[in-house]
Amino acid sequence: MATVAEATAAVTLPALTHEEIARYSRHLILPEVGMEGQQRLKAAKVLCVGTGGLGAPLLLYLAAAGVGTLGLVDFDTVDASNLHRQVIHSTPDVGRPKLDSAADKLQALNPGVKIVKHNTMLTSANAMEILKDYDIVADGTDNFQTRYLVNDASVLSGKPNVYASIFRFEGQASVFGAPDGPCYRCLYPEPPPPGLVPSCAEGGVLGILPGLLGVIQATEVIKLILSGNGEAKGESLVGRLLLVDALGMRFRELKLRKNPDCPVCGTHPTVTKLIDYDQFCGITPPAKETTQVASVQNGVPQIGPEELKRRQTAGQDVFVLDVREPHEYQIANIGGHLIPLNDLPKRLSELDREKNIVVHCKSGGRSQKASEFLQQQGFQHVENLAGGITAWSDKVDPSIPKY
């Protein structure tokens, strides 16, 4: 008679076919993986939120390793500016849904893996329902709302959250939401004020960096699966924050403790169901595609690119102030006077208070801040170019390259 453990293993772990034994032979001869480990990988269900920079290497390696079910959450389409880092997508995929592009690559790499496509933005309304079919969540998102949402959903559903984030040349990784480990909120109880931390779209990112971090995530996911008893094979990143500095090529780590006062995983949690993460992060949800521009934001009048063009064509005296960085100006400019946002306070003397000033940046965020600052400094005639030089390229002059 089989022991209980053997019976359970026989019921829960799928057998490997001859093809699978051949495919995974280099895994199988590792005693730390072996037949049982590979069967655990085959049985595992991993949800990857985002199929971008982190998701690309993460998903490719999980598929290659034989993780049986991979759930993909994305609603975006492939853009040319994604390709320098999102290596799961190729040039012919530009314009395709990322889900389809990613699923094709994964299926070609390993036809034995089941790909589940969740064609949606992860939200408070759907996160618990989507997570319930998976064992592990891997967070490949690039914004704070979704990061807190993934964290809370992982803690509330008792599933580990393999986390990484990247910016410019630096990244961090950890495993949150393990039974005795801390969560993302233990580390960062509050999101930063909106606009304080620039996104990769604003601040840039070295293309290889998500590759480094995504592979670290994949490693942690696989170690969690191999153990099969709730603890990772070897030593996991539970309770540790790995800091990666690609420019200096240095890896450091910080010890993380579970915070007993954590609102979601502490002893007396106050967050017991998913909340409104846009509100929590202090941001207005992205407006539906519209040509209407809000006329005033935080006291700053907004104008669209067509209106700026109209005024220039009509010969009106408009002073265009560009608050981007000099290297961005070199990529593309519309002839504005360049004063980077951070230099503005010490270069106010270059501006004429009597003139109508239209401030622009890449997409309208930094120029909004600059406009608010100028108003505080007593400038009366300041307007923000909504959508920035990107909108100008879209709506007025397509010869201006978008970056």
Interface ranges with Zn ion (CB under 5 A): 183, 185-186, 262, 265
**Closest distance between Zn ion and the C-beta of residue 239, in Å?**
12
Active site residue 262: no
Residue nearest to Zn ion (CB): 262
Name the residue nearer to Zn ion (CB basis): 161 or 363: 161
156 touches 272 (CB < 8 A): yes
**Closest distance between Zn ion and the C-beta of residue 175, in Å?**
13
Q: Token pair of 34, please?
A: 């072996």
Name the residue nearer to Zn ion (CB basis): 177 or 388: 177
Residues 162, 195: Cα–Cα separation, whole Å: 25
Residues 383, 219: Cα–Cα separation, whole Å: 49
**Closest distance between Zn ion and the C-beta of residue 44, in Å?**
25
Residues with Cβ within 8 Å of 169's Cβ and at least 6 positions away in sequence, in order, are: 206, 209, 245, 246, 247
For every residue of 23-37, DSSP letters joined together read HTHHHHTSTTTHHHH
Name the residue nearer to Zn ion (CB basis): 186 or 200: 186
**Closest distance between Zn ion and the C-beta of residue 284, in Å?**
27
**Closest distance between Zn ion and the C-beta of residue 259, in Å?**
6
Active site residue 361: yes
293 touches 304 (CB < 8 A): yes
The residue among 92, 237, 133, 131 whose CA lies nearest residue 178 is 237
**Closest distance between Zn ion and the C-beta of residue 157, in Å?**
14
Name the residue nearer to Zn ion (CB basis): 44 or 156: 156
**Closest distance between Zn ion and the C-beta of residue 173, in Å?**
17
Name the residue nearer to Zn ion (CB basis): 182 or 211: 182
244 touches 170 (CB < 8 A): yes
Exposure string over 156-189, b if 16+ CB within 10 A, otherwise e = beebbbbbbbbbebbbbbbbbbbeebbbbbbbee
Residues 175, 255: Cα–Cα separation, whole Å: 12
Sheet strand arrangement including 318-322: 296-297, 300-303, 382-385, 356-360, 318-322, 337-338
Name the residue nearer to Zn ion (CB basis): 164 or 186: 186
Name the residue nearer to Zn ion (CB basis): 102 or 155: 155
Name the residue nearer to Zn ion (CB basis): 55 or 191: 191
Tell me the three-class secondary structure of 179-222, residue by residue: CCCCCHHHHCCCCCCCCCCCCHHHHCECCHHHHHHHHHHHHHHH
The residue among 265, 200, 182 whose CA lies nearest residue 403 is 200
Q: Which of 48, 183, 200, 281 is catalytic?
A: 200
Residues with Cβ within 8 Å of 186's Cβ and at least 6 positions away in sequence, in order, are: 176, 256, 257, 258, 259, 262, 265, 266
**Closest distance between Zn ion and the C-beta of residue 141, in Å?**
18
Q: Which of 48, 183, 281, 361 is catalytic?
A: 361
Write the single-letter amino acid at 373. F
Upper half-sphere CA count for residue 57 (Cβ side, 13 Å)? 18
Residue 145 backbone dihedrals phi, psi, to 5 degrees: -60, -50
3-state SS, residue 55: helix
Tell me which residues are annotated as active site.
200, 361
